[in-house]
Amino acid sequence: MKIYNTMTRKKEDFVPVEPGKVRMYVCGPTVYNYIHIGNARPMIVFDTVRRYFEYKGYDVNYVSNFTDVDDKIIKKANEEGVDASVISERFIKEARKDMEGLNVKEATHHPRATEEIGGMIEMIQTLIDKGHAYNAGGTVYFRTRSFNGYGKLSHKNVDDLEAGHRSIAVTGEEGKEDPLDFVLWKPKKEGEPSWPSPWGDGRPGWHIECSVMSKKYLGDEIDIHAGGEDLIFPHHENEIAQSEAANGETFAKYWMHNGFLNIDNVKMSKSLGNFFTVREISEKYDLQVLRFFMLSAHYRSPLNFSADLMAASKNGLERILTAVDRLKDLSGTGGAIREEEKPVAEQADALVRKFEDAMEDDFNTADAVSAIFELVRLANISVDEASSEGLIDYVRTKIETLCGVLGIITEREKEILDSDIEALIEERQAARKARDFARADAIRDQLAAQGILLEDTREGVKWKRA
């Protein structure tokens, strides 16, 4: 298996740190709002990578965090007049709901930054003790030039760099030894959550969070660290510096980054009005279509989202589901695969190998999907009522298995009846009248998951199928 390593800028043979096991860390979302479709791409891509490793028999420890303390979370909390934890809890719940809709598997561990503060303080103290960090009036900075390899992931020259931190005003900026130094710990501000530390009450910088969560759940050296290409610098570069300076070990053997997502060939942005959340997309499309669309291109390539391309993905997915439905409906003749049918089974095997070859070549899902389409074509041409039950099951199982590796669900949900919808709406109205808002929300979510959209109007509740 070959993986393109951002660090070396070439494909390398995958050799795990520990035979038969994969330790994988994927940077998760900052939970201050609904996740957008740009967030969804790494979720889907690296979930698929994980699924393929598991398909090949690896034991995968997959860690993906929630950043639940951050300036954006604090800003939204202040706007609403609530504690920051209220915002993060709300949107962790919503993110999990969207991830379920995208058929993203639950991570082995889903750590939250606020639950790992003790580990962060410990690592920062280690960096201070080793001369890699310093306290400047309550702000602790990483001494960037103390780490010889800084810039090796992003291939930037340290002398050409400017300070690598988020565009926020940091208390104690004047105490920096070098403009390149970045924040590990920032002092408390009024109206912000804080924790006690040897340097005063405050909270961690963004970069230290992932270093600590990766170390706790995966160890000092991991196999794969992944995320969007926007994280290469400064986030992942800073993670490497902190982790390797503190632990004295190579942080990650392979660095994987997915390409950007554009909307109608333009970068997604709220100011341009082309910013879409996964929740908004779910009102127009089954989220399986979004997943299928995301896997239609190689993960390192830029991906363009448009209504036309989503329509094409919907049609492509429908082709696969229709073929599986047809194979399920075929009764067949006799049991085992007959001698004259073995060439068809062998063709199916060859297409499975073609799928695996694509995935082994840096997880080329575009070519893997093509192999599934060829398998569907083989089924449509060569399998019918006259085929043995053995061949029908054999070909159907191959299609279902390969779709499962991509996280594509081939089992269609049964369409909900109008009478059942009306009954649930009545139950929801009764729950609202009884002020049981949790049940009312659960019913709305249940209907939304089945493609039923509710609209509360003066005339009552109206509904439509998405």
Q: For each of the chain's 466 residues, which pLDDT tens digit applies?
A: 999 999 999 999 999 999 999 999 999 999 999 999 999 999 999 999 999 999 999 999 999 999 999 999 999 999 999 999 999 999 999 999 999 999 999 999 999 999 999 999 999 999 999 999 999 999 999 999 999 999 999 999 887 775 444 433 344 466 899 999 999 999 999 989 999 999 999 999 999 999 999 999 999 999 999 999 999 999 999 999 999 999 999 999 999 999 999 999 898 877 787 889 999 999 999 999 999 999 999 999 999 999 999 999 999 999 999 999 999 999 888 789 999 999 999 999 999 999 999 999 999 999 999 999 999 999 999 999 999 999 999 999 999 999 999 999 999 876 677 888 888 999 999 988 899 988 988 898 888 878 788 988 888 898 988 7
What is the DSSP track for 233-249?
IIIIHHHHHHHHHHHSS
Q: Residue 238: is it exposed, middle or buried by C-beta count within 10 angstroms (0-12/13-18/19+)?
A: buried
Question: The whole model's pTM is what?
Answer: 0.88
* Whole-number Å distance between alpha carbons of 39 and 37: 5
Number of neighbouring beta carbons within 10 Å of residue 342 = 11
* Whole-number Å distance between alpha carbons of 155 and 149: 10
* Whole-number Å distance between alpha carbons of 243 and 212: 8
Which residue from 449, 438, 386 is spatially nearest to 414, judged by alpha carbons? 449
Continuous segment of H or E residues that includes residue 365: helix 365-382
* Whole-number Å distance between alpha carbons of 353 and 369: 13
Distance between first and last Cα of the chain: 41
Number of neighbouring beta carbons within 10 Å of residue 61 = 20
Class of 266-405 per CATH? mainly alpha
Class of 2-258 per CATH? alpha beta
